[in-house]
Amino acid sequence: MPYPLLDTIHTPADLRRLDPSQLKPLAEELRAFLLESVSQTGGHFASNLGSVELTIAIHYVFDTPDDRLVWDVGHQTYPHKVLTGRRERMNTMRKYGGLAGFPKREESDYDTFGVGHSSTSIGAAAGMAEASKLRGDTRKCIAVIGDGAMTAGQAFEALFNAGDKQATDLLVVLNDNEMSISPNVGAFNAYLAKLLSGKFYQGFRNTGSKVLENMPPLHEFVRRSEEHVKGFLTPSTLFEEFGFHYVGPIDGHDLDTLVPTLRNLKSLSGPQFLHIVTKKGHGYKLAEGDPVKYHAVTPFTPADGMAPKAAAKPTYTQVFGQWLCDMAEQDPRLVGITPAMREGSGMVEFEKRFPDRYYDVGIAEQHAVTFAGGMACEGIKPVVAIYSTFLQRAYDQLIHDVALQNLPVVFAIDRAGLVGADGPTHAGSFDLSFLRCIPNMAILAPSDENECRQMLYTAFQMNQPTAVRYPRGTGPGVEIAKAFTALPVGKGETRRQGKRIAILAFGTMVAPALKAGEALDATVANMRWVKPLDVELVKQLADSHELLVTVEENSIMGGAGSALSEALNAAGYARRVLHLGLPDRYVDHGDPAQQLAECGLDAAGIEASIRSAFGI
């Protein structure tokens, strides 16, 4: 498909040479290119279609990259990547050695801050703005944050801090795609936004304020009157209370409003807040109709849309979702808690069947954990469904609000280990290490789908904080028993009997360890429990084998292998141990199998590492 305007844009400097009348045709071309590109590669889709005009307007008005642009999460940055010199590499999106799915500082000077988690943009941009002021620079700093990200406490902490610094230039753009606010968008609101951001209004406001300073009663009356008028005409004066000059809401797809409003705001000093309204999937009817389905896509045909996925073996996420519903039927004390990841954590069916026992607390991982602790104090049995990478954000609450009080909260930790195309920001590389050192915590790692179901049941029966960590995607494909069976606490099992070498594998590493064990004629143990570790099995294997190998899909430092070495040392054993796991570096995005092979955690890699280390 020809893209006559887009073909001329290699950097935002090229964009800024366009006549304003060319911006709308450019937006149409950019949206068409995204449809063509993402339908071939897969990736985040609906949110990127919704941010086309905003991206064009920001790069058109501001002098990026000298003006700092910080995106939140990064789901909506594909248009940004296209306009900042990476269009020719969009076919490598999220592939090994290709473009990252999120902003990445190493990838481009236009990616001023690496992101992947929610609600960091305001804090980062505020830090950049303050640094710019300290150096005496005149650059502008812009944070783009979505309405969902505003549910996180970190965003409001940053607003409190930034709004208190009236001498620091910062623009926060709230990209709001909630349909409930769309009636507030129209010609009058667009006019109001231009008026409130214009120099005439600001000059009148500032001059009037100085005149009235010596007449406090009248000054207070006028201030309150202004707030009431703006509160009547706009959704809220909340952000004014934070210390920001609030403008909006305006139509985020209307370049005729966006561009002059941004220009006006660029000329102002101090903290500014622009509220825009966009539509996820804008310009592609199927994505507009089902933005959740089209949030992240696999390759599809644009004319037909995403085809229904063929039936396959269940993912670990689906195993958890089914267990949650089955367990809830048996025990009315069970509640499910998610920090805004209903679909990702497999809780859609649970919400439908048990709406009064389903809690989505928004993107507020810290609150999710403390909230669960409060419920557990009152005899409720909370299950917190959370990605490994997001649990990192609630570490303090995990220690102080749950573990210290030994509260029976089950943590269903999804996306443990490497996660493929989403890369290091989403990888669950550290949970075994950061959980294992917490007193009162119990940690289980299933080797297959049925073991996952039974481990979740076992964890739910325990009267202490317990974590079951499982990977993204599918497992070996074993049959899943409907009946629940509690596993013996702190007991592993020997899956293969061999000679000389014993491979002690945790969770996902059992399957490749068994293949390596066949090639080496090694004993293979499915350890099941990371904490409490099966010390008796460890000593038994140490007594009967010359060489011990631990394998885990977690950082080697402080992980399950470290637990084994600690146990051997405490028992007075002097054995040579080889620890295999994730290296002391971040593993780039790519195909999951390729990532594991790169880390030496596929069957061939495990075998090769053992042969090399022990000279066999």
Three-state SS string over 86-130 comes to HHHHHHHCCCCCCCCCCCCCCCCCCCCCCCCCCCCHHHHHHHHHH
Are 142 and 68 in contact, with CB atoms under 8 Å apart?
yes
Distance CA 226, CA 314 (A): 57
- C-alpha neighbours within 13 Å on the C-beta side of residue 513: 31
> What percentage of the chain reaches a pLDDT higher than 70?
90
Which token pair is 95?
A: 């592939």
Q: What pLDDT, on the 0 to 100 scale, is given for residue 179? A: 40
How does the average pLDDT of the chain come out, rounded?
A: 89
More confident: 166 or 581: 581
Instruction: State pLDDT tens for residues 473-529.
Output: 999 999 999 999 999 999 999 999 999 999 999 999 999 999 999 999 999 999 999
Q: What is the mean pLDDT of residues 579-594?
A: 95
> What percentage of the chain reaches a pLDDT higher than 90?
73
pLDDT reading at 445 higher than 70? yes
Q: What pLDDT, on the 0 to 100 scale, is given for residue 181? A: 30
pLDDT reading at 75 higher than 90? no
Q: What pLDDT, on the 0 to 100 scale, is given for residue 304? A: 84
Q: For residue 528, indicate whether it is catalytic.
A: no
Instruction: State pLDDT tens for residues 200-254.
Output: 445 545 544 444 455 555 555 445 545 444 444 444 567 888 889 999 889 999 9
Q: What pLDDT, on the 0 to 100 scale, is given for residue 539? A: 97
Q: What is the mean pLDDT of residues 84-112?
A: 93
Q: What pLDDT, on the 0 to 100 scale, is given for residue 118? A: 87
307-321, 353-367, 461-475: range with lowest mean pLDDT: 307-321
More confident: 74 or 562: 562
pLDDT reading at 300 higher than 80? yes
Q: For residue 482, indicate whether it is catalytic.
A: no
Most confident region among 146-160, 232-246, 278-292, 352-366 by mean pLDDT: 352-366
Looking at 95, 140, 280, 472, which residue is catalytic?
280
Q: What pLDDT, on the 0 to 100 scale, is given for residue 241? A: 81
Residue 168: pLDDT band (50, 70, 90) is confident
Q: What pLDDT, on the 0 to 100 scale, is given for residue 217? A: 55
pLDDT reading at 81 higher than 70? yes
Q: What pLDDT, on the 0 to 100 scale, is given for residue 196? A: 52
pLDDT reading at 45 higher than 60? yes
pLDDT reading at 409 higher than 90? yes
Amino acid at 236: S
CB atoms within 10 A of CB 214: 8
What does residue 581 show for φ and ψ, rounded to 5 degrees?
180, -160
Residue 192: pLDDT band (50, 70, 90) is very low
Q: Rounded to 5 degrees, what angle do the CA atoms 147, 153, 157 make?
A: 105
pLDDT reading at 452 higher than 60? yes
Distance CA 45, CA 39 (A): 9
Q: What pLDDT, on the 0 to 100 scale, is given for residue 178? A: 62
């049959």: which residue's tokens?
479
DSSP of 375-420: HHHTT-EEEEEEEHHHHGGGHHHIIIIIITTT---EEEEES-B--G
Residue 193: pLDDT band (50, 70, 90) is low
Q: What pLDDT, on the 0 to 100 scale, is given for residue 182? A: 31
Looking at 365, 552, 553, 607, which residue is catalytic?
365
| Strands (DSSP E) found in 160-265 | 170-176, 245-251
Q: What pLDDT, on the 0 to 100 scale, is given for residue 538? A: 97
Looking at 393, 415, 469, 528, which residue is catalytic?
393
Q: What pLDDT, on the 0 to 100 scale, is given for residue 307? A: 82
Q: For residue 393, indicate whether it is catalytic.
A: yes
Q: What pLDDT, on the 0 to 100 scale, is given for residue 271? A: 94
Burial 332-353 (b: 16+ CB within 10 A, else e): ebbbbbbbbbbebbbbeebeee
Are 281 and 46 in contact, with CB atoms under 8 Å apart?
yes
Q: What pLDDT, on the 0 to 100 scale, is given for residue 70? A: 96
Instruction: Give the neighbor-by-neighbor strand order of the sheet with 271-277.
Output: 68-71, 141-146, 170-176, 271-277, 245-251
Residue 5: pLDDT band (50, 70, 90) is very high
Q: What pLDDT, on the 0 to 100 scale, is given for residue 185? A: 38
Residue 116: pLDDT band (50, 70, 90) is confident
